[in-house]
A and B are shown apart, each in its own frame.
Chain A
Amino acid sequence: MKITLHIWRQKSAAAEGSFATYPLPNISENMSFLEMLDVLNEELQQKGEDPVAFDHDCREGICGMCGLMINGSAHGPRALTTTCQLHMRSFKDGEEIWVEPWRAEAFPVLKDLCVDRGAFDRIIQAGGYVSVRAGAAPDANAIPVPKHDADAAFDAATCIGCGACVAACPNASAMLFTAAKVSHLGHLPQGQPERYTRVRKMVSQMDAEGFGSCTNHGECEAACPKGISLGHIARLNRDLVVANLKRSDVPE
């Protein structure tokens, strides 16, 4: 199949960027989107040009490293699919495809399609964990966890930290990412002791990173390749209200 790519090229964080156009006349529909970019990069290098920089690693939809805005959609046109799992058969012969990096103030562009998502790590550092030293754990079956709670925790824990939720949100809010972790740990007995300090610290870090506010657009849920539900945001908000009420009881 034949396609025409318009790709965001930007030499470095400080440089101005712009779109460059690359026709690809002979692409197999069985290629993944990233394999198609590999083919482009091989051609560019054959001509002595700089290949397009893009992030990727596992190429099986779990590491969360890849992520492109494709025709204005985070991870492209298919639901529940990361960019690396998207195949060219999802596009029409002759199609023009616009490829951009995640756009968010908190995710500065490093080069071409690569962005810095360090803000996500700092949100986790603020409280996205259970404080337990290696060696201090009781027997794994000492605390039963109702299956329903374990499953709900898993549904939230399946977040891959790719940032599609931020990229899709008109406010570039990181609420779905933050809520997924708050909800994962909040569903489990192990997460209870730090439940309310966790939510307060994580939300405050999220704000400090320059992410926008959540205004319930729901674009995040639609773009999430792991199908993480908006319900987790509601849960975060409930926990945050309680946390603020409890604030006087909880030592800083």
Chain B
Amino acid sequence: MELNGNAPSGPIETRWERHRFNMKLVNPANKRKFEVIVVGSGLAGASAAATLGELGYRVRCYCYQDSPRRAHSIAAQGGINAAKNYQNDGDSVHRLFYDTVKGGDFRARESNVHRLAEISVNIIDQCVAQGVPFAREYGGLLDNRSFGGAQVSRTFYARGQTGQQLLLGAYQALERQVAAGTVKMDTRTEMMDVIVIDGKARGIVTRDMVTGKLECQMADAVLLCTGGYGNVFYLSTNAKGCNVMASWRAHRRGAYFANPCYTQIHPTCIPVSGDYQSKLTLMSESLRNDGRVWVPKKKEDVGRAASSIAEADRDYYLERKYPSFGNLVPRDIASRSAKEVCDEGRGVGPGGLGVYLDFADAIARLGRSTIESRYGNLFDMYESITGESPYEMPMRIYPAVHYTMGGLWVDYNLMSNVPGLFVLGEANFSDHGANRLGASALMQGLADGYFVIPYTLGNYLAQIKPGASDAKAPEAVATLKEVEARIAKLLSIKGKRTVDSFHRELGKLCWDKCGMARDAQGLKEALLRIPMLREEFWQNVFIPGVGAELNQSLEKALRVADFFEFAELMVRDALNREESCGGHFRTEHQTPEGEAARNDEAFSYVAAWEFKGVGEAPELHKEKLEFEYVKPSQRSYK
């Protein structure tokens, strides 16, 4: 079936403006009659809940952490893009739009991306007014930097903690609405399922993570702002609690999951140090501005100290392969190249999964103090984690899963194919296509929450009758019972293996077969092994304790159970997409130079999958992508 994204037509510059006029409005006096549920309190969730509260809707917001301020948006380091052109260096809304469509390797919806670029300027205004302490110049005006290979300086930043400052701005706006009584915030509360009545999303089932109490929460609309699924790989730069449950449960209730194979691998993370490793830490990409990436030319040199390897025996492989971009090639290329040299047995450090990022030349050229002022905090962080000083010996880095571009399918209004179910931020498949550019994730989360959903949700609510459903509706009761049964089943297994041991094994399998580079054979193998492992999980997992208490093993088990089902879909999508694009690299589809080879003829579409049952083949729906303004071309970084 062909899916329709409901994007307006006509000149792209005025689509959003015209659409805003054409959308229906909810009378101010009627807004308080509508109840809206927001799941998640990151940039998308907190900004949406705050803004809808300001408008007068009755909002309830839920997060699994002990405070909405903990959401993982807080960890974003780099910055946020906006087409302000404060630097007078040639930026414009159209250029940001163009760069984002191209950066996404021509797999995003043009109308959405243009809207994102338009709204980007409002976001900065809003955040500054909230008191976000962005970096400033001595004249008191906002500072910008160039980020992620962009040719203009359009990135606003707050030291290396931009995500933290933006999230605290949204969090404070949210707490202001809590105080005003328009938003009710429940922390340590996890969404277990969506309640669908007559085909519309009418509520969710929540679990109080302290008492274990399950409840039906009813509403006129449900907004999922629940982040990405990077933790399907177990090791990622995501927070430990990040999970796919909200999206997956919505998917099981009918919402299509789009492009799950688009995952972003960040090239500069601290490598795994042992099998106890619980997460991976990202080191800012800016390090590649001065660091040189290399591995030994000969396998025999791998175990030797870096300093004892002669210059002639080092392979600066990025500089060798990409002479014009060198160490600054885009994320996907830097990541894949690291994998290649490690696969050849030339990786350094424990397990051979690492490459050097060497600052010796930069220190010799610029002096230690310059390097310290540029990267001092990053060097300290590296040293505190690894116990090695990057001033004395090269850093070791390796790529890690960082962001997921895939997510629940939404139309131009951010509504999924289930009416009343909206999806915002990283949780939707959205605006980044097959590859997200640096400093674009924060922009999208806040655009969705502050400036898109307030309009598009109103348009939906204006067309339905207010009055949340009854928690005693048969559909609500049945959904609650299913959740109860799922929890009871997990607790009753009392097997021999811990949840984490399953999660690690699943993650390793996904990373090996569906990570930086994929091929049909490996993906087919994963499709055989995932269901077997899932089967074992449901027969042999051990979860101590009971449901009616603070039970962190149970929380993890519920999440991992959904990762098992999701992983299969991700692999299927990767197998279906017989091309390479952005973060999805199929080794069968590359140019003679080893670059990603897209197949626009056959795959210029969004793959939106419909759930047909656990272990059953899902049904593929396609949304055709049209490029009227940015003509698809081949990326080249030689």
Are A134 and B126 touching (Cβ within 8 A)?
yes
Residues of B with C-beta under 8 A to A120: 67
Question: 0/1 per residue, B184-208, Cβ < 8 Å to A?
Answer: 0101000000000000000000000
Are A147 and B210 touching (Cβ within 8 A)?
no
Segment of A45-53, A206-214, A236-244 in the binding face = A45-53
Segment of A1-9, A30-38, A68-76, A91-99 in the binding face = A30-38
Are B72 and A63 touching (Cβ within 8 A)?
yes
CA distance A190 to B125 in the complex (A): 12
CA distance A242 to B279 in the complex (A): 47
CA distance A121 to B63 in the complex (A): 13
CA distance A134 to B174 in the complex (A): 11
Most A Cβ at <10 Å: residue of B134, B142, B164, B384: B384
Assess whether A251 is interfacial by the CB under 8 Å rule.
no
Contacts A134-B50, A147-B136 given; does A129 touch B176 at CB 8 Å? yes
Contacts A51-B553, A57-B239, A62-B164 given; does A130 touch B72 at CB 8 Å? no
Residues of B with C-beta under 8 A to A20: none
Are B68 and A121 touching (Cβ within 8 A)?
yes
Are B66 and A87 touching (Cβ within 8 A)?
no
Are A124 and B161 touching (Cβ within 8 A)?
no
Residues of A with C-beta under 8 A to B21: none
Assess whether A117 is interfacial by the CB under 8 Å rule.
yes
Most A Cβ at <10 Å: residue of B142, B187, B239: B239
CA distance A53 to B185 in the complex (A): 23
CA distance A236 to B189 in the complex (A): 34
Q: Which residue of B lies closest to A161 (CB)?
A: B69
- Among B66, B126, B276, B385, the residue within 8 A (CB) of A117 is B66
Residues of B with C-beta under 8 A to A131: 176
Segment of A137-145, A167-175, A215-223 in the binding face = A137-145
- Among A30, A49, A55, the residue within 8 A (CB) of B274 is A30
Residues of B with C-beta under 8 A to A138: 125, 129
Assess whether B286 is interfacial by the CB under 8 Å rule.
no
Assess whether B593 is interfacial by the CB under 8 Å rule.
no
Are A158 and B164 touching (Cβ within 8 A)?
yes
CB distance from A85 to the nearest CB of B (A): 6
Q: Which residue of A lies closest to B125 (CB)?
A: A137
Residues of B592-606 whose CB lies within 8 A of A: none
Residues of A176-201 whose CB lies within 8 A of B: 184-185, 188, 190-191
Assess whether A28 is interfacial by the CB under 8 Å rule.
yes
Are A153 and B68 touching (Cβ within 8 A)?
no
- Among A36, A38, A184, the residue within 8 A (CB) of B133 is A184
Assess whether B51 is interfacial by the CB under 8 Å rule.
yes
CA distance A62 to B176 in the complex (A): 23
Assess whether B65 is interfacial by the CB under 8 Å rule.
yes
Are A39 and B544 touching (Cβ within 8 A)?
no
Contacts A46-B498, A53-B552 given; does A190 touch B130 at CB 8 Å? yes
Residues of B149-171 whose CB lies within 8 A of A: 158-159, 161, 164-165, 168, 171
Are A35 and B84 touching (Cβ within 8 A)?
no
CA distance A132 to B177 in the complex (A): 11
Residues of B with C-beta under 8 A to A191: 131
- Among A59, A121, A130, the residue within 8 A (CB) of B67 is A121
CA distance A51 to B551 in the complex (A): 9
CA distance A129 to B54 in the complex (A): 14
CB-based A-B contact count at 8 angstroms: 220
CA distance A42 to B164 in the complex (A): 32
Assess whether B18 is interfacial by the CB under 8 Å rule.
no
Interface size in chain B (residues, C-beta < 8 A): 81
Question: 0/1 per residue, B69-94, Cβ < 8 Å to A?
Answer: 11110110000000010100000000
Are A35 and B277 touching (Cβ within 8 A)?
yes
Q: Which residue of B lies closest to A181 (CB)?
A: B172
Residues of B with C-beta under 8 A to A246: none
Assess whether B578 is interfacial by the CB under 8 Å rule.
no
Residues of A57-111 whose CB lies within 8 A of B: 57-60, 62-65, 78, 81, 85, 87, 89, 110-111
CA distance A75 to B65 in the complex (A): 19
Are B544 and A135 touching (Cβ within 8 A)?
no
CB distance from B60 to the nearest CB of A (A): 15
Are A63 and B276 touching (Cβ within 8 A)?
no
Residues of A with C-beta under 8 A to B51: 133-134
Assess whether A230 is interfacial by the CB under 8 Å rule.
no
Are B544 and A51 touching (Cβ within 8 A)?
yes
Residues of B with C-beta under 8 A to A30: 273-274, 386-387
- Among B86, B128, B172, the residue within 8 A (CB) of A124 is B172
Assess whether B122 is interfacial by the CB under 8 Å rule.
yes
CB distance from B460 to the nearest CB of A (A): 19
Contacts A60-B75, A141-B142, A190-B129 given; does A53 touch B550 at CB 8 Å? yes
Nearest first, the 8 A-B pairs at minimum CB distance are: A144-B140, A137-B129, A129-B172, A137-B125, A154-B133, A125-B179, A140-B128, A57-B239
Q: Could you name 30 residue pairs across A and B whose Cβ atoms are closer than 8 Å? A: A29-B387, A31-B276, A38-B276, A38-B278, A42-B500, A45-B542, A48-B544, A49-B544, A57-B65, A59-B239, A62-B164, A64-B70, A78-B384, A81-B384, A85-B381, A111-B550, A114-B550, A117-B66, A117-B67, A118-B67, A121-B178, A124-B171, A133-B54, A134-B450, A141-B141, A147-B136, A153-B131, A188-B131, A190-B128, A190-B130
Where the two chains meet, the residues of A that have a C-beta atom closer than 8 Å to any C-beta of B are 11-12, 28-32, 34-36, 38-39, 42, 45-46, 48-51, 53, 55-60, 62-65, 78, 81, 85, 87, 89, 110-111, 114, 116-118, 120-121, 124-126, 128-141, 143-147, 150-151, 153-154, 157-158, 160-161, 184-185, 188, 190-191
Given contacts A35-B278, A146-B136, 10 further A-B contacts (CB under 8 A): A29-B387, A36-B276, A45-B498, A121-B175, A121-B178, A150-B134, A150-B140, A157-B165, A160-B164, A161-B67
